[in-house]
């Protein structure tokens, strides 16, 4: 099994009601051997249209965050809890998240085998923490999921709604968080080593 085969299998999935309203299944993408995996909530309108994860406004902000931290998007793997767009961008229901993660996300993680997983937002964090924790409390802390380091961060869509860069703002905290992720990745043995960059206190995105 590899990611391409898994993606091909997912295209015809109708295991939950989200199949009814989707244009297409939006599978994860990125480096199949990534050290760092981001897991969002689910596809939005643009993702549903293009069939790729994180290509809308929130995805563009995630690109900027990665670029500011010196993490090439091509080196990471990006996916979602559910692979089909929930109607009107509502939060995926627990049975939808369960159906999708069990079929696809867990197998994506097995195949990519990342060293660090960053859940973006409360829905993704809940899957890895095994309980509902407000993202304001979960972010900025390290957890473990089946031996993999997990570090929840705010969802970029939340940052779009809270654009302040003031100290203590979600954007400012995210800037610190992504640098913490980078610091830990660089402290781990390879898969691959990268150069260390000093931690900046001001957001660059």
Q: Binding residues for ligand SF4, per CB under 6 A? A: 10, 13-16, 18-19, 25, 82-84, 96, 99-100, 103
> Minimum distance between the CB of residue 97 and ligand SF4, rounded to whole angstroms?
9
> What is the C-alpha separation between 196 and 161, in angstroms, rounded?
31
48 vs 177 by CB, closer to ligand SF4:
48
18 vs 61 by CB, closer to ligand SF4:
18
How far, in whole angstroms, is CA 119 from its chain's centroid? 5
Question: Is 56:45 a contact under the CB 8 Å cutoff?
Answer: yes
> Minimum distance between the CB of residue 42 and ligand SF4, rounded to whole angstroms?
7
> Minimum distance between the CB of residue 85 and ligand SF4, rounded to whole angstroms?
9
Strand ranges across the sheet with 116-119: 29-30, 77-80, 36-40, 116-119, 148-150, 143-145
172 half-sphere exposure, CB direction, 13 A CA radius:
8
15 vs 176 by CB, closer to ligand SF4:
15
How many CB atoms sit inside 10 A of residue 22's CB? 20
60 vs 91 by CB, closer to ligand SF4:
91
> Minimum distance between the CB of residue 124 and ligand SF4, rounded to whole angstroms?
14
């Amino acid at each position: 099994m590899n990611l391409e085969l898994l993606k091909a299998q997912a295209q015809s999935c109708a295991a939950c009601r989200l199949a009814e309203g989707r244009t297409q299944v939006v599978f994860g993408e990125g480096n199949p051997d990534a050290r760092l995996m981001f897991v969002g909530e689910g596809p939005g309108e643009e993702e549903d249209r293009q069939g790729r994860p994180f290509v809308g406004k929130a995805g563009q902000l995630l690109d900027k965050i990665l670029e500011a931290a010196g993490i090439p998007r091509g080196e990471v793997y990006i996916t979602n809890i559910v692979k089909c767009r929930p109607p009107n961008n509502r939060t995926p229901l627990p049975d939808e998240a369960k159906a999708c993660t069990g079929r696809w996300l867990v197998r994506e993680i097995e195949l990519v085998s990342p060293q660090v997983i960053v859940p973006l937002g409360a829905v993704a964090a809940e899957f890895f923490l095994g309980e509902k924790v407000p993202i304001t409390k979960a972010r900025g802390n390290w957890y473990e999921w089946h031996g993999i380091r997990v570090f929840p961060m705010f969802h970029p869509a939340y940052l779009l709604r809270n654009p302040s860069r003031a100290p203590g703002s979600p954007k400012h905290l995210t800037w610190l968080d992504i640098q913490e992720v980078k610091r830990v990745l660089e402290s781990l043995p390879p898969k691959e080593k990268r150069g260390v960059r000093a931690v900046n206190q001001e957001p660059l995105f």
